[in-house]
Amino acid sequence: MSITLLNAGWIIPMAAGTGTLEKHSLVMDDQRIAAVLPWAQAAALYPGAEVVELREHVLIPGLINSHTHSAMSLLRGVADDVPLMDWLQNHIWPLEKQWVSEDWTYQGSLLSAAEALRGGVTYLNDMYFFPTAMARAAIDSGIRAGVSINVIDFPTGYAAGPDDYIAKGLAAYGQFKGEALLDWTSAPHAPYTVSDETFIKLRELAEKHDLQMHCHIHETQHEVDESLKQFGMRPLARLDKLGLLNERMIAVHMVHLDEEEIPMLARNGVHLVHNPNSNLKLASGIAPVTALEAAGVNTILGTDGAASNNRQDMFGEIRAAALLAKGVTQNATTVSARTALEMATIRAAKAMGRGDDLGSLEVGKLADVVAVSLAALECRPVYNPEAQLVYVAGREHVSDVWVNGRRVLKGRELTTIDQGALLDRTEAIVAAMKAGA
């Protein structure tokens, strides 16, 4: 048994009905949280424990990035200031066809894992090709990942067609099934790239293996308009007809929704991933978060990939989610700091099917813990730690991170990744891409 006491100035457990605890210790017993107690009481009960002093820090649950394309960190900045379909068809897809491989995907995924951990993110819900590469990068870095059985109907350098994508995804799932840090999703790319037949196969796959689904939906008005032309219905209506709108579905973007679709999402238990900064940068629009909240939809947060955002910064997404909702509705009370934090923690854990283990700092849950320093003059004074995290602090104030009780970031230094070697390998890959070699 290995007991560690994290003596924090503040703890925000994020469990329902809890507020901020001052001068408390979080007690970790190997991989799980054993207790949350006042400093003196914890010291008396665990006299031989390792002690980490974090008296000017806030402890929060590890942040969950509910939608990203990790490997695309290698494409950060290749095509900025263009709309989505131009960005995809004329820039991203051609580059991916030429360059994406097992090693390329691993290196990009490892780079994203490093960025995530340094920003207080302990879980990446990924969507990309070569899932074995993402799985290896997660295990090697010590981060959690939702690894995708990603499917698109046209051929790429990874697979020849939908059945090939599914077969390769299932082989990866079988290879890594049972790994403590990994979950898996059935991941059709989007309604405009996936046929009804393929959607049904992926729905059946999710049901058979008890997986969540992960799909881009209603990202642009163009997508909705084209669906009306091709299918005579909006994408959500099509997916509903195919039996995909339920508590398994993690629906990404969902910017363009009508008044009937929002209550339909709530009735069916669909989880919705708001990607405020990516949607702003690609000029896709703004998800109607206040209306979604009023309807009871489980709204969560993601960064999208580094090629479109370009920061995989969940502190930035949390702040943007709160501010955008207020600005769009001219209502300062909508999407409070607490609500924005929930979107990146306890709500996201529920969406991934991990609400019993992750998303809050409660006894018995896995010890995914982030320490955020409020010692800097930019973070003082502190009246309300929850609001301070959302409106003041940034990822640069994350000092320490534990995943599964393992310290993967210590004093802003990664303990699982050789940062110099990672950067050298990244620069070598990018140099080859620039040279067209």
Q: What is the mean pLDDT of each run of 10 residues along the chain (437 residues)?
A: 93 95 98 98 97 98 98 94 88 89 97 98 98 98 98 94 98 97 98 98 98 98 97 98 98 97 98 97 96 98 95 98 98 98 98 98 98 98 98 98 98 98 96 85
Query: Is there a domain that residue 303 lies in?
Result: yes
Query: Is there a domain that residue 434 lies in?
Result: no
Alpha-carbon dihedral angle through residues 184, 70, 67, 315, given to the nearest 10 degrees: 130
Give the separation between CA 229 and CA 306, rounded to whole angstroms: 32
Residue 81 and residue 152 in one domain? yes
Point out the domain boundary residue: 332, 351, 370: 351
Query: Is there a domain that residue 205 lies in?
Result: yes
Q: Which token pair is 129?
A: 């090709």
CA-to-CA dists, residue 46 to 1, 2, 234, 427, angstroms: 12, 11, 58, 47
**pLDDT, position 437:** 53
Task: Return the CATH number at 264.
Answer: 3.20.20.140
Query: Is there a domain that residue 422 lies in?
Result: no
Nearest to residue 105, comparing CAs of 68, 143, 72, 150? Answer: 72
Nearest to residue 65, comparing CAs of 219, 274, 213? Answer: 274
Query: Is there a domain that residue 301 lies in?
Result: yes
Task: Return the CATH number at 30.
Answer: 2.30.40.10
Query: Is there a domain that residue 421 lies in?
Result: no
**Residue whose tokens read 């909702």:** 325
10 three-state secondary structure: strand
Residue 326 and residue 223 in one domain? yes
Residue 258 and residue 150 in one domain? yes
Residue 126 and residue 69 in one domain? yes
Q: Are 169 and 196 in contact (CB under 8 A)?
A: no
Residue 154 and residue 10 in one domain? no
Residue 71 and residue 158 in one domain? yes
Residue 110 and residue 245 in one domain? yes
Cross-strand bridge partners of residue 8: 24, 54
Point out the domain boundary residue: 351, 378, 394: 351
Residue 376 and residue 254 in one domain? no
Query: Is there a domain that residue 40 lies in?
Result: yes
Residue 167 and residue 312 in one domain? yes
Whole-structure pTM over 0.95, yes or no? yes
Rounded to 5, what percent of the chain is helix, strand, coil? 40, 25, 35
**Which positions ≥6 away from 162 have C-beta within 8 Å?**
151, 152, 153, 194, 195, 197, 198, 201
Residue 373 and residue 293 in one domain? no
Residue 174 and residue 271 in one domain? yes
Q: Which domain holds residue 285?
A: 63-351
Query: Is there a domain that residue 239 lies in?
Result: yes
Number of domains in the chain: 2
Strand segments (E) across 107-162: 121-126, 144-151
Residue 218 and residue 282 in one domain? yes
CA 228 to chain centre: 30
